[in-house]
């Protein structure tokens, strides 16, 4: 099982704050998981389109697209934020 959290405008756009998915061994990395979510189409496809539009954390540590994933991980996706 993998737990996915969605934050800020991403949560509002998708209409979901979190979900748990059965582990898929094809998800070798954050990029693989993002591609699987984008494959849902519609707003999911737009939200997870390739590019630097989202940040990610795996087990509460900032992650890159190539960061490996494993069964039992918690993955959080959130838009970049700025302060001022």
For 29-75, how does the pLDDT look when each residue is reduced to its tens digit (9 = 90+)? 999 999 999 999 999 999 998 876 899 999 999 999 999 999 999 99
pLDDT, greater one: 15 or 52: 15
Residue 24, in any domain of the structure:
yes
Number of domains in the chain: 1
Residue 30, in any domain of the structure:
yes
Domain range enclosing 38: 2-78
**What does the CA dihedral 62, 72, 19, 63 come to, rounded to 10 degrees?**
10
Domain containing 64 — which CATH number? 3.10.20.30
Reported as type and span, the H/E element at residue 1 is none
Residue 83, in any domain of the structure:
no
């Amino acid at each position: 099982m993998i737990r996915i959290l969605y934050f800020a405008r991403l949560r509002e756009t998708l209409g979901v704050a979190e979900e748990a998915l059965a582990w898929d061994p094809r998800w070798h990395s954050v990029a693989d998981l993002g591609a699987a979510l984008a494959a849902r189409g519609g707003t999911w496809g737009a939200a997870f389109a390739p590019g630097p539009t989202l940040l990610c954390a795996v087990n509460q540590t900032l992650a890159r697209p190539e960061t490996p994933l494993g069964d039992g991980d918690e993955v959080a996706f959130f838009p970049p934020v700025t302060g001022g």
